[in-house]
A and B are shown apart, each in its own frame.
Chain A
Amino acid sequence: MAQHINKKARFHSLTANRLLDGEPVYLTRSHAWSENLHDAAIADGKDEGAELTQIAAQSVADRLVVNPYLFDVDVDAGRPRPISVREQIRATGPTVRRDLGKQAS
């Protein structure tokens, strides 16, 4: 969904949902999919973002993931930090049920 991209933002990571179970996953530097935001590749600028998008498209065709998109991040000691509240929540789990989602494992 286009609303996750701020055209002025420099850094992006790419996320999708795993087809089999809907789990949010992140595209890593080695072009694998990780459940952990920390492992996400960071694209610097539009061209690198486009590369990640292309790799994700192949994963969609390979039936690994659905609905991939880039989202804005800040870079914090080399790790991606989501700018939007939405992606922060998606990376951890529902804030009202701390016993559920990624934050619980």
Chain B
Amino acid sequence: MYRYDEFDRTIVTERVAEFSGQVQRRLAGELTEDEFKPLRLMNGLYLQLHAYMLRVAIPYGTLSSAQMRMLAHVARTYDKGYGHFTTRQNIQYNWPKLKDVPDILADLATVEMHAIQTSGNCIRNVTADQYAGAAAGEVDDPRIWSEILRQWSTFHPEYSFLPRKFKIAVTGHAHDRAAIKVHDIGIVIVEGDNGAPAFDIYAGGGQGRTPMIAHLVGAKIAAQDLLHFIDAIMRVYNMHGRRDNLYKARIKILVHALGAEEFARQVHDEFAKGGAGDDLELPEGEIARIRAYFAPPAYETLAADDPAYTRALADDKAFAYWARTNLAAHKVPGYAIVNISLKPIGGIAGDASDSQMDAIADLAQSFSFDEVRVTHEQNLVLPHVRQTDLYEVWKQLDAIGCATPNIGLISDMIVCPGLDYCDLANARSISIGQIISERFADLDKEHDIGELKIKISGCINACGHHHVGHIGILGVDKKGVENYQISLGGAADENAAIGDIVGPAFTEDKIVWAIETIVDTYLALRKDGERFIDTYRRTGIEPFKETLYAAA
């Protein structure tokens, strides 16, 4: 894992002091709210319905046990005993007091954490595949490049006043778990010349009001040119991105307006200019230095199938269910990737209590080389667990309510905070996730349905990723009443697609029926081995429109 050097430490410590000063001056009246607001946003501090909200950065979703324990400490000491893991692999606290935020930031700084650039018109947290460095078939560890981008983008003077927020995601695997195609910049690590890593760079993806899939603007960009090429994209955006209209200020609007080809041409022109860009060429020694932080842990040499694990699968049905959905294959024999479900049936997606965080920190330390990851689907991952330890890990997760065997299944939903918390929301989303989850609580039924990703947003800003849900649900306000519009066929992976709206919205009392109807329609139509998304791609939307809206 990356460790701060003295420069990183200085940056964060000075930032804490600077923000403390700004809070003091705000409280003393030397700064107005108009002056203070952009400053607090650059430190991830929002004002929501019931309180302030602090978004703490978790770079590319990677945490040590010490860092997870600090997140628990913050929840316990300054908040109401819990935090929420987000679709950008960060954590949000819903009840901090402004006067306490400097102390929170000071505490976080002791474990190399901060809330820098988690809001504001700047480059945000660079997110990455949560199985980085663990899954078989990875071309290169995306966290190496995410860390390089993080260092380059932190306090970048040219990119601190962008037209709008800017989000970058990186995957090193052909199967994209990081939703790169709906990011402002999405990076796929590919095999370059001489087996060195190279990058396919996509730009102009995004969700929100105007969802779009990103376009390839640079193919097989050489490793040493990564920053230079990204910088070229940023310069074109910073120069030509709209600043006159908040809703047209993202890079996706610019790419769409120019056309992908013209946009790519302008980027390549900028890239070819050299000049200051040449300074951004990454020296091989620097790449190697960062890479060394992400060296594989000291794996034991183990047999491919551990007998104790195999026995436990046969003896304990509940453990077997969990193993079926919550484990992923590890590249090293005798190890497994463990998914920690933060989607208990009827619970609040992505929330964890301080005691759960502490227990998970202990598990990471004891069983996963001190590492835990956050996924953009609001779950956690222990990346390197020996098969022989899986039964014990499962028992401990089960004891804290984090072993729901539902990863990728219908009850593993992405759900934004919605109108229960968020100032921007039009409708509640969490409660909708809960009633759907409860309706499909039957484990056998869930497993029969198979992979089905429901994503729920409480407003058009799409923080719940509803545009790329197999089933997407968007909360809308219809004359003061919360309504829910359904879309089908979205996907966030390498076959990314924006969902199709199926028809008029449903009220809260009808939404579960609507989801049931969609599921039943799928079950009736599916052919052997088809997941929901496969059936949808074959049949199209018509059968679902019929069953949902046929005149009763």
- Chain A residues within CB distance 8 Å of chain B: 1, 17, 19-24, 60, 63, 66-67, 83-86, 89-90, 93-97, 100-101
Contacts and interface: CB of A to CB of B under 8 A. Distances in A.
Interface residues of B, number: 29
Given A17-B47, A19-B27, A19-B98, A89 B480 contact: no
Contacts of A86: 49, 419, 425
A79 to B, nearest CB: 20
Given A17-B47, A60-B33, A86-B49, A22 B97 contact: yes
A67 B33 CA distance: 9
A41 to B, nearest CB: 21
Contacts of B421: 94
Contacts of A67: 33, 47
B50 to A, nearest CB: 5
B51 interface: yes
Interface in B11-27: 26-27
A89 to B, nearest CB: 6
A83 B95 CA distance: 25
A24 B425 CA distance: 17
Contact of B50 (A1, A24, A84): A24
B47 A95 contact: no
A95 B98 contact: no
Interface in B107-142: none
B176 interface: no
B319 to A, nearest CB: 30
A60 B29 CA distance: 10
Contact of B482 (A60, A63, A85, A97): A85
A66 to B, nearest CB: 5
Interface of B: 26-27, 29, 33, 47-52, 80, 95-99, 348, 419-421, 423, 425, 427-428, 430-431, 434, 480, 482
Given A22-B52, A89-B49, A94 B480 contact: no
A59 to B, nearest CB: 12
A89 B98 contact: no
Given A17-B47, A20-B99, A66-B33, A89 B27 contact: no
Nearest to B482: A85
B480 A22 contact: no
B97 A90 contact: no
A95 B430 CA distance: 9
B420 A94 contact: yes
A94 B33 contact: no
24 contacts: A19-B27, A21-B51, A21-B52, A22-B48, A22-B51, A22-B98, A23-B51, A24-B50, A60-B33, A63-B27, A66-B33, A85-B427, A85-B428, A85-B480, A90-B49, A90-B50, A93-B50, A94-B50, A94-B430, A96-B420, A96-B428, A96-B430, A97-B420, A100-B50
Contact of B27 (A20, A22, A84): A20
Contacts of B97: 20-22
Given A86-B49, A101-B50, 19 more contacts: A19-B27, A20-B27, A20-B97, A20-B99, A21-B52, A21-B97, A22-B50, A22-B51, A66-B33, A67-B47, A83-B480, A84-B480, A86-B425, A89-B49, A90-B49, A94-B50, A94-B420, A96-B428, A97-B420
A58 B207 CA distance: 39
A67 B98 CA distance: 15
| Residue in A60, A85, A94 with the greatest tally of chain B CB atoms within 10 Å | A94
Contacts of A89: 49, 419-420, 428
B365 to A, nearest CB: 30
Given A21-B98, A90-B49, A96 B480 contact: no
Contacts of A85: 419, 427-428, 480, 482
Nearest to A102: B50
B260 to A, nearest CB: 35
Contacts of A22: 47-48, 50-52, 95-98
Given A85-B482, A96-B420, A63 B29 contact: yes
B228 to A, nearest CB: 42
Contacts of A60: 33
A74 to B, nearest CB: 12
Nearest to A72: B480
Contacts of B51: 17, 21-23
What 3 pairs across the A-B complex have the smallest Cβ distances? Answer: A21-B97, A22-B51, A94-B420
| Residue in B27, B50, B428, B480 with the greatest tally of chain A CB atoms within 10 Å | B50
A86 B424 CA distance: 10
A95 B420 contact: yes
Contacts of B49: 24, 86, 89-90
